[in-house]
Amino acid sequence: MLDLLRGFSKGWTAKILIGLLIASFAIWGISGSILFGNANTVAQVGDTTITAQQYRAVYDNQLNVFSQQVGRRLTRQQADAFGLRNNVLALVTAGAVLDENAKSMGLGISQEELAKSIANDPGLRDFSGQVDPEAIKRTLRNRGISQDEFETERRRSAIRRQLEAGIIGNLDAPKAYLDAISTYQNEARVFDYVAVGAEVLEKTPEPTDEQVAEFFEETKTNYTAPEYRKLTILKLQAADLSKPQEITDDEIRAAYDARKNGLQTPEQRRVEQLVLKDKAEADNVKEKLAAGTSFDDIVTELGKTIKDIDLGLLTKPELPDTKVADAAFSAELNKPTDIVEGLFGSVIVRVSEIVEQKVTPFNELKEQIRNELALERAADEVFTTFDAVEDERAAGSNLTASAKAANLKTQTITKIDSQGRDENGNAVADIPALAQLLNAAFESQPGDDTREIPIGSDGFLWYEVEDIIPSRQKEFDEVKSDVKTAWITQETATQVLAVAEGIAERVRKGEDMNAVLADALPADSVGGQIKYETSKPLKRQDQEPKIGAGPIAEGFQTPKGEIAVAPANGGNFVIMRVADVQAPEGDNIPEDLLAQFNASSTEDVLNQVVQDMQSKLDVSINQAGIEAAFNPYAGGGGHGGY
């Protein structure tokens, strides 16, 4: 479980969500005494009681939201490891704080307004837009609450919105704040820069054996073999049960005949359509064609080219004008048709190319159809085979024996680490649902009763942990070559940095930058003097491959006219001087970001007001009530575990 959570928490989505959970708890806070009373009470805020059922309803909703944002269903244990219980406690406590203050202010809502609020909920309407009593019943049933409790929730929510609206109104982010953001985002800088790398050294550093051994001792934690698992796996998909040899030629022929219409490549014709402007022009063209004038000459006389009137290679349905389509697909090759009264007026059509209709022959598709029919038949057997495997496992058979009883074969993975690599560092290939398998396998021990892992909607993967190969420190002789390479890389970077810093220091003392470069650096690949380049104006977020993101960030920390040295990709270092700083003119924040900043400001103010309200109230927390929310036998009215 801990490995899964550690792996999950490396993603940006998880980090953002964890940050939100921590921030929420920090903002709202939970203070006051700890109760040991009614197990159905989670918290008491003034005279407002938060029940275990109310707490669990909010918890389930937040768990669903959290799971959707992560992209997979989380268990309670996984979500709680990120602090979901505390986050929900903070949310319901803050809501109770608002309720208490709303009562003290005498805020309320009439039955008529409450009815309107419920009626305006799209989730409670039918397809015609009317309030759907059945939808309300489903909501009550799914939530496990009565109609009175539902109305109480809605009334409380509406009153809270009144209070929140009174606190925040139409609050926007302060102008000074937006100006600072705009300046930060839109300030541009121009850099004089040059990148230096290993080419500036006379020779590549070469370590002695003693230096390599010493470097290994300093960095030996970098050379640790990960923990591995030896796994037996069993995959079950339709392809594993497919038996093409059992499909008869008669079945294939029947399937081919049934699909024949879909196997046809329809006839195509290259259609040239000459549109005539009026009846007089049409009659004139008709007479000229009858007198022997060629179609090409007539096109030229009308100031057009064949390319102008070529509609391309088309099937009959691709011609929108049915009269033109009928004429084109009944015309002889290279012979103009008579005048056709089409959608665009009088036209003459000529067909200059015909691609005959083609039906893919049976023999070309025979084996493809055989395999498709076999897969279709096998798909019907997947769940029967699944039951057979599970029956054997339930009877105590191991995975290999269970597979044999179901006429399947297991696969052994001798060594695989938590990232899916073998002992040579290569990715283990052709394992479906690999991420789910690794998460589950690295939470399991040899002999554990493991569960199958779904593969899509109609496949399964079983696994058994046969052995655990612990993580270990690699011996020096195993990694000597890698250690030597790492030493060379580090020493090269150290020496290149010394050259770069030496150049920067001379420029800081007033020497001309190009003169210093000519003196300190060797000639370039064609024998020319290396000179600095001047960048275009760059903002913080801009990409400039020749400089790199790191040096650009460093450049925005450096005063105008000063020089800095920053590491770049590939072991290079960029020597850069801030040649110019261009401040933005006026606000220039995109609308979507402006909306985010305004929302953030509104939330900050609301949080501070609620926190102040809470500090003036007695808040008591009952941990037993929280546990009862997840235990239907503890008197808390929870929904039960899962």
Structure confidence at residue 431 as a pLDDT band (50, 70, 90):
very high
Helix residue spans in 380-442 (DSSP H) = 382-394, 399-405, 434-441
Distance CA 314, CA 310 (A): 11
Length of the chain: 642
Which residue(s) pair with 619 in the sheet? 45
Give mean pLDDT, residues 136-146. Answer: 70
Spatial contact of 385 and 403, defined as CB atoms under 8 Å apart: no
Same domain? For 7 and 21 the reply is yes
What range does the domain containing 116 cover? 2-170+598-629
Q: What is the CA radius of gyration of the chain?
A: 38
Distance CA 573, CA 155 (A): 63
Phi and psi at 3, nearest 5°, equal -60, -40
pLDDT at 45: 87
Spatial contact of 32 and 619, defined as CB atoms under 8 Å apart: yes
Residue 362 lies in a domain: no
Residue 99 lies in a domain: yes
Eight-state DSSP code of residue 245: G
Burial of 26 from C-beta contacts in 10 A (0-12 / 13-18 / 19+): exposed
Same domain? For 145 and 159 the reply is yes
Distance CA 437, CA 453 (A): 7
Give mean pLDDT, residues 299-312. Answer: 91
Structure confidence at residue 501 as a pLDDT band (50, 70, 90):
very high
Residue 589 lies in a domain: no
Give mean pLDDT, residues 598-603. Answer: 74
Give mean pLDDT, residues 516-526. Answer: 86
Q: Is 334 or 596 the better-scoring residue by pLDDT?
A: 334
Give mean pLDDT, residues 401-425. Answer: 94
Same domain? For 10 and 153 the reply is yes
pLDDT digits (tens, 9 = 90+) for 310-330: 999 999 988 888 899 999 999
Spatial contact of 468 and 445, defined as CB atoms under 8 Å apart: yes
Residue 321 lies in a domain: yes
Residue 447 lies in a domain: yes
Whether the predicted pLDDT of 30 surpasses 60: no
pLDDT at 200: 92
pLDDT at 23: 40
pLDDT at 618: 86
Distance CA 558, CA 414 (A): 54
Same domain? For 430 and 325 the reply is no
pLDDT digits (tens, 9 = 90+) for 227-284: 999 999 999 999 899 999 999 999 999 988 887 766 778 889 999 999 898 888 988 9
Same domain? For 31 and 163 the reply is yes
Phi and psi at 639, nearest 5°, equal -95, 0
Structure confidence at residue 17 as a pLDDT band (50, 70, 90):
very low
Residue 634 lies in a domain: no
Q: How far is CA 487 from the centre of its chain?
A: 38
Whether the predicted pLDDT of 443 surpasses 60: yes
Same domain? For 542 and 562 the reply is yes
pLDDT at 99: 84
Whether the predicted pLDDT of 214 surpasses 80: yes
How many domains, the chain? 4
Same domain? For 464 and 609 the reply is no
Domain-terminating residue out of 356, 388, 413: 356
Distance CA 373, CA 351 (A): 42
Q: Mean pLDDT for the chain?
A: 84
pLDDT digits (tens, 9 = 90+) for 152-197: 778 888 787 777 777 776 777 777 777 777 788 889 999 999 999 9
Residue 250 lies in a domain: no
Distance CA 636, CA 327 (A): 80
Give mean pLDDT, residues 351-355. Answer: 94
pLDDT digits (tens, 9 = 90+) for 50-72: 888 888 888 888 888 887 777 77
Same domain? For 16 and 162 the reply is yes
pLDDT at 402: 95
pLDDT at 131: 66
Give this prediction's pTM: 0.51
CATH code assigned at 421:
3.10.50
Give mean pLDDT, residues 380-408. Answer: 93
Query: Cβ neighbours of residue 391 under 8 Å, at least 6 residues apart?
Result: none
Burial 374-406 (b: 16+ CB within 10 A, else e): beebbbebbeebbebbeebbeeeeebeebbeeb
Q: Is 591 or 1 the better-scoring residue by pLDDT?
A: 591
Other CB atoms closer than 10 Å to residue 55's CB: what's the count?
Answer: 27
pLDDT at 484: 97
| SS3 assignment, position 574 | strand
pLDDT at 22: 38
CATH code assigned at 298:
3.10.50.40
Same domain? For 45 and 150 the reply is yes
Eight-state DSSP code of residue 232: E
Same domain? For 196 and 293 the reply is no
Whether the predicted pLDDT of 587 surpasses 50: yes
Eight-state DSSP code of residue 625: H
Whether the predicted pLDDT of 14 surpasses 60: no
Domain-terminating residue out of 422, 447, 473: 473
Whether the predicted pLDDT of 97 surpasses 60: yes
Residue 181 lies in a domain: no
β pairing state of 310-314 and 358-359: unpaired
pLDDT at 415: 96
Same domain? For 144 and 70 the reply is yes
Domain-terminating residue out of 473, 502, 533: 473
DSSP 59-81: HHHHHHHHHHHHTSPPPHHHHHH
Q: Where are the beta strands (DSSP E) in 324-388?
A: 340-342, 345-355, 358-359
Same domain? For 30 and 166 the reply is yes
Amino acid letter, 79? A
Give mean pLDDT, residues 587-606. Answer: 73
Give mean pLDDT, residues 321-340. Answer: 92
Structure confidence at residue 128 as a pLDDT band (50, 70, 90):
low
Structure confidence at residue 12 as a pLDDT band (50, 70, 90):
very low
